[in-house]
Amino acid sequence: MNKQEKIKSFNPNEPALNSNLFGLPFNEDECDIHVLPAAWEVTVSYGAGTMEGPKEIAIASAQVDLYDEGYPKGWERGIWMHDIDQEWLIKGESLRLLATRYLQAYELGEIGPKELKIQKNINEQCGLFHFWIQKQTAVILKKGKRAILLGGDHSTSLGTIRAHKEHYGDFGVLQIDAHADLRSSYEGFEYSHASIMYNVLQEHLATSLTIVGLRDYCHQEADLIASDNRINAFTDRGMNKALFAGQTWTQVCRSVVNTLPDHVYLSVDIDGFDPSLCPSTGTPVPGGLSIAQFTYLLDAVIASGRKIIGGDLVEVVPGKDQWDANVGARVLSAISHRLA
């Protein structure tokens, strides 16, 4: 059976009958959208568990109905999740143990030669991991497919963004996040979740960065936002101020969209949403977006003629009764239907 025949014979009203992402009937080649899982949280400093995100989101995806109000045929594009790489999974787990030991010493201010060696090793291994993700993403893009990176912590986006730069040239990053992730390094780690967008700008991977939902950031990051004209920040406070003063969400979205170039890479940190949607994520912060605000914003980006060329969803920790994974699966579906 080819893909067209599968679309005809598949009943999207049935519950998921297989273990494919969203229970879709397509094989890897037939899917236009490829999800690359990154079960990785080596440099996570606070709440852990996001390395379980990809596996549990895939399981939770069976519960998501395929009818999407805005994109009723969205499922026909097919979305495929690659296997979690076991070698990197094991390596990541052992590096995380080393990182924990290093961080304990760091907090006590007891960094000696031994700790510096651990730090160097972690930075090197993380660098290799990001290079591996970059290569995997490049393979997907070269086949004419769209790619979504599924973390893992936010550091895992780097390789995917590099591959998109290589493939598409110029684009802007639209970052949904409670945090700016603009620290030059964090706790001695070059490739920290808290540094991902600093690294993206440092490597000139994006022509602009638009942060939406920002509400927990440091002075150094505030200074960088103010001084680097590539960066536009729509803080939680600022957006609410506009809404309270009588602006509509449509107007706020227009302001956001105006900062974006024609091609947009979408980086979604689940903590950009209200914590009721992601209570288990590593660094939850009160405030944030609703799902409706998020999808409305993405639809405004698309309605403006701009193209969302790829993206990532990171920092989902499956949580109690898999609630966060359930939300994550729905956000993943929403992103996939809106890729160009």
CB of 177 to Mn ion, least distance (A): 4
With 0-12 / 13-18 / 19 or more C-beta atoms within 10 angstroms meaning exposed / middle / buried, residue 261 is middle
CB of 192 to Mn ion, least distance (A): 10
Residue nearest to Mn ion (CB): 269
With 0-12 / 13-18 / 19 or more C-beta atoms within 10 angstroms meaning exposed / middle / buried, residue 248 is exposed
In eight-state DSSP terms, residue 209 is E
* Nearer to Mn ion among residue 203 and residue 262 (C-beta): 203
CB of 321 to Mn ion, least distance (A): 24
* Nearer to Mn ion among residue 20 and residue 267 (C-beta): 267
CB of 70 to Mn ion, least distance (A): 26
Residue 56 makes contact with Mn ion by CB under 5 A: no
Name residues whose C-beta falls within 8 Å of residue 256's C-beta, 6 or more positions apart in sequence: 174, 210, 212, 232, 234, 297, 300, 301
CB of 259 to Mn ion, least distance (A): 19
Residue 269 makes contact with Mn ion by CB under 5 A: yes
CB of 130 to Mn ion, least distance (A): 15
Per DSSP, the residues of 264-286 read EEEEEEGGGB-GGG-TTSSS--S
* Nearer to Mn ion among residue 56 and residue 269 (C-beta): 269
Residue 196's nearest CA partner among 175, 218, 222 is 175
Determine contact, residues 149/137, Cβ cutoff 8 Å. Answer: yes
Residue 181 makes contact with Mn ion by CB under 5 A: yes
* Nearer to Mn ion among residue 154 and residue 306 (C-beta): 154
Residue 154 makes contact with Mn ion by CB under 5 A: yes
* Nearer to Mn ion among residue 253 and residue 285 (C-beta): 285
Name residues whose C-beta falls within 8 Å of residue 272's C-beta, 6 or more positions apart in sequence: 175, 176, 177, 178, 212, 213, 288, 289, 294
* Nearer to Mn ion among residue 21 and residue 176 (C-beta): 176
CB of 281 to Mn ion, least distance (A): 10
Count of other CB atoms within 10 angstroms of residue 203? 12
Stretch that binds Mn ion, among 54-62, 76-84, 147-155, 316-324 (CB under 5 A): 147-155
Residue 153 makes contact with Mn ion by CB under 5 A: no
Which one of 177, 216, 221, 324 is in contact with Mn ion (CB under 5 A)? 177
* Nearer to Mn ion among residue 192 and residue 259 (C-beta): 192
Q: At what angle do helices 249-258 and 236-244 cross, to 10 degrees?
A: 140
Tokens describing residue 81 = 């999740």
- Which residues contribute to the site for Mn ion (CB under 5 A)? 154, 177, 179, 181, 269
